[in-house]
Amino acid sequence: MPDDLIARLRAAHARGALLASICSGAFVLAATGLLDGGVAATHWRYAEALGKAYPEIEVDAASLYREHGRLFTSAGSAAGIDLMIEIVRRDFGPDAANSVARRLVMPAHRSGGQAQFLERPVPRREGVEIAPLLDAIRAEPASAWTISRMAEYCRMSERTFVRRFRDATGVSPGDWIVAERVEQAKERLIRGRESVDEIAVLLGFGGGHALRHHFRRRLGVSPADYRARFSVSA
């Protein structure tokens, strides 16, 4: 790493600047020594190499982005955009961050602690048989969407339905429904005033305990913490 670049980064940090890296850019920040004793995120493909090169740093190969003081590191390029939106949110509030996200056609926010995978499974091949069902589930998330009911909706046998669903979405029907309910819970937490227990019932989780479990497992934070950080009225 060029000595001049390292010196400039260290000087900027000393002046109070916020430094951020995307993907393998974590190696640049690591070379400054400013991350020593802290935690850094990077793309999972480079995590092992970063840890070997800079053992003084705790490398997080799972999270989208991490903060250490005024140093931010992120995983791949998409996670870098998430990090930039998070910085906008911190400086200018959730409405500004949501506005930026809409312009970029990005989700309003993905927390840094979230694992390095997409919130909503991206359809591999959204067949005509499955797409109407997905819209129906989104419209009525609290309904009892059993395998038999969904298969009947698509006019398939249960075995064929499960196979076609996975082909179209990349995940099982149950996983997709939980992911969709969590997405809708996020929006209600940000925009609405319902309690966590009320949201859980409205979206088909049955109770607040189940919603909290799935929310924390997928996003790494509790619904209450998510609302406190990202509510438009926060």
Instruction: Please indicate, yes or no, whether residues 77 and 169 belong to a single structural domain of this protein.
Output: no
Q: What is the pLDDT of residues 160-179, one digit of tens each?
A: 999 989 888 888 999 999 98
Query: DSSP per residue over 93-109, as a string?
Result: -HHHHHHHHHHHT--S-
Q: pTM of the prediction?
A: 0.52
Are 98 and 129 in the same domain? no
High-pLDDT (> 70) share of the chain, %: 88
Say yes or no: 99 and 129 in one domain. no
In a domain, 111, yes or no: no
Is the same domain home to 100 and 12?
yes
Q: Write the single-letter amino acid at 42.
A: T
Average the pLDDT over each of 64-78, 118-132, 184-198 and give the range with the smallest value: 118-132
If asked whether residues 130 and 227 sit together in one domain, one would say: yes
Q: What is the pLDDT of residues 19-49, one digit of tens each?
A: 999 999 999 999 999 999 999 999 888 999 9
CA distances 72 to 17, 83, 146, Å, are 11, 8, 43
Structural domain includes residue 118: no
pLDDT band at 82; cut points 50, 70, 90: confident
pLDDT value for 217: 87
Indicate if the pLDDT at residue 195 is higher than 90.
yes
Largest CA distance in the chain: 66
Question: In this predicted model, which residue has the larger pLDDT, 59 or 115?
Answer: 59
Contact 92, 39 (CB under 8 A): no
What CATH number did the domain enclosing 30 receive? 3.40.50.880
Domain count, the chain: 2
The answer to the question of residue 60 being in a domain is yes
> Quick check: is 89 in a domain?
yes
Same domain? For 127 and 191 the reply is yes
User: Rounded mean pLDDT of the chain?
Assistant: 85
The answer to whether position 109 is within a domain reads: no
Residues 100 and 133 in one domain: no
Mean pLDDT over 107-132 rounds to 54
Q: What are the tens digits of pLDDT across the range 2-24?
A: 899 999 999 999 999 999 999 99
Same domain for 87 and 25 = yes
Query: Does 221 share its domain with 133?
Result: yes
What pLDDT is attached to residue 54?
Answer: 96
141 within a domain of the structure (yes/no): yes
Do 37 and 144 fall within a single domain?
no
Give the domain extent around 215. 123-234
Q: Is residue 100 part of a domain?
A: yes
- CA dist 61 and 52 (Å) reads 13
